[in-house]
A and B are shown apart, each in its own frame.
Chain A
Amino acid sequence: MRVAAEQQLSLITGAEAAAHAMRQIDPDVVPVYPITPQTPIIETFAQFVSDGLCHTEIINVESEHSAMSAAVGASCAGSRVITATSSQGLALMLEIVYIAASMRCPIVIAVGSRALSGPINIHCDHSDSMMARDAGCVQLFAENAQEAYDLMLIAQRLAEDHRVLVPVMVMQDGFTITHSAEPVALLPDEVVKEFVGEYEPLYPLLDVDHPTTQGPFALPDYYFELKRQQADALDAARSVWLELQEEFAALSGRRYHGFFEAYKLSDAEYVLVILSSTAGTAKVTIDRLRRKGVKVGLLRPWVFRPFPAHEIAQALAGKRAVAVLDRAISLGSWGPLYLEISAALGRYLPKRPMLYNYIYGLGGRDTPPELLASVVTDMQNEVDPTVLRYLGLRE
């Protein structure tokens, strides 16, 4: 099959894919500070700007705290703003990410997922994005370079929809996706321009004829109501996401159906729940196990915030066992994805499947198919579900 001829695929890394999305979106302002493994995103994008392929003002700031501060200022002024970061960079900008969310700034944040220090480590896990899960952003997780591109485009529309107006974080796994070259189908520039359209800010500070106060104090009289509005904005993101995926499918042929990918899920007895790139390896594992007659499937959320609790509970109803694989740990508790799914099953299902939690891949530990197959074997053997398990750890 001549793949390239049919779909016009180019071999690019996930970081380059995100940078191409940024080039086509052509944001007004990109304040950014480099950090591994995000750096090739902004490096590639800066080359595009320098080559005159887009008209963005890049602001080279002195830290991620400043990057997000500049992003908030530019967004409030009425600009379309994108930034990118990883790990410690996200940790440093987090103080202002909360403010961006509360000021309803539709900033898109590309994240090359990387473990948080310490010990210092540059490799992938999801501790950085999970640290930011309560900030008030929509959080999308890409499996591969193609999704890293597609989700950046959808994120721009999702963030700027007047029913939503919150930052959207788009996660791609550090190195595994940011630095790996894979076939990616890029949409024509004009198609993207039409899809993302022009940003129409509600209350731009530069609209001097209609002056507004932004970012004021909110004491016990109003803080609570403002938080409720943010919760409503995240809820509204659910239906906007569903609308956008229809529109995106019509122009790209690529469908992000619902809130999660269901791979061989409908007749599965055993289910792996997993985010991001390792889900690809899980699909290969599932194919191998299916050939041996094991009824196993995958549920891979694209959307972590807002969390699609009801939809996931419905999809897992009647399953014999479910293993949630977390690439982050809430130390002193269990994995964040597991905790969400455990709550969802408890809330919506009278009879829950056996539910397991595995922590995997911290600090970039590789997770090959054999390890994922061992999780399915554990489920078949009905191992103790009250024990938190670690996958691929030397004990």
Chain B
Amino acid sequence: MIEIRWHGRGGQGAKTVSQLLAGAALRHGHYAQAFPEYGPERSGAPVKAFNRIDTKEIRLHCSIYEPDIVVVLDPTLLCAKEARVTEGLKRHGILLVNTTQTPEEIRALTGFPGKIITLDAEALARSVGARFSNVVMLGALARLLGNISLEDLEAELAQAFGEKALATNLAALRAGFTALTESLETLEATA
């Protein structure tokens, strides 16, 4: 089972992408859960969303304390004390961050010893005309997971968005997917 924790701010669509990911996982033949951090929602406040993905039926109905992957949608959360983005993240897990900084800079900032992958999702979102970076990060995460296909995600997006928003979000998804392919190639080249 893979457990994922998303960090965003209220209004940035962390819950939306967690549901899109779970829907795509289900299309791909996996079992999946998506749930937000429960509580009163306030625009701009740090929020979390969670995913579980497994090949077996998922019966756990408690929170996730030791995620395999953490995705940070908003770089300002790295410094926000209350967000604690690396809390419980497995040492061999992955920290995927939307930032202009390098993985080394993020490591210095968070002290996380495991794999850190960064991409400037905000710039990518802007380049395709998207207001938020969430779907770019979803595309990047899908590439990272490897077991969620771009086609299944595109089908989920087609179900979730109207015609106008769909084109933008599909472009955002593919931008994230492609950018991560390049990041992974760089990682492999330097490893």
Contact = CB atoms under 8 A, between A and B. Distances in A.
Interface in A1-44: 1-5, 9-11, 37
B60 A11 contact: no
B94 interface: no
B61 A278 contact: yes
Count class of interface residues, chain B: 20 to 34
Given A179-B36, A364-B38, A284 B27 contact: no
Given A11-B32, A183-B31, A277-B61, A3 B26 contact: yes
Contact of A11 (B23, B40, B55): B23
A366 B36 contact: no
A4 B27 CA distance: 6
Contacts of B23: 11, 181
Interface in A240-299: 277-278, 280-281, 283-284
Given A280-B61, A281-B59, A368-B63, A181 B35 contact: yes
A180 B59 contact: no
Contacts of A123: 38
Contacts of A374: none
Nearest to B152: A4
A1 B26 CA distance: 11
Contacts of A179: 35-36, 38
Interface string B129-167: 000000000000000000000000000000000000000
Contacts of A3: 26, 29-31
Interface string B26-58: 110111111110111000000000000001001
Query: Among the interface residues B23, B29, B61, which one has the most CB atoms of the partner chain A within 10 A?
Result: B61
Given A11-B22, A183-B32, A1 B55 contact: yes
A330 B6 CA distance: 38
B19 interface: yes
Interface in A173-197: 173, 175-177, 179-183
Given A3-B31, A5-B29, A122 B40 contact: yes
A177 B61 contact: yes
Contacts of B32: 11, 182-183
B62 interface: yes
Nearest to A278: B61
Contact of B35 (A4, A180, A183, A367): A180
A183 B61 contact: no
Interface of A: 1-5, 9-11, 37, 122-123, 143-144, 173, 175-177, 179-183, 277-278, 280-281, 283-284, 364, 366-369
13 contacts: A1-B55, A3-B29, A4-B26, A5-B29, A123-B38, A175-B38, A179-B36, A180-B33, A180-B35, A182-B32, A182-B58, A281-B59, A368-B65
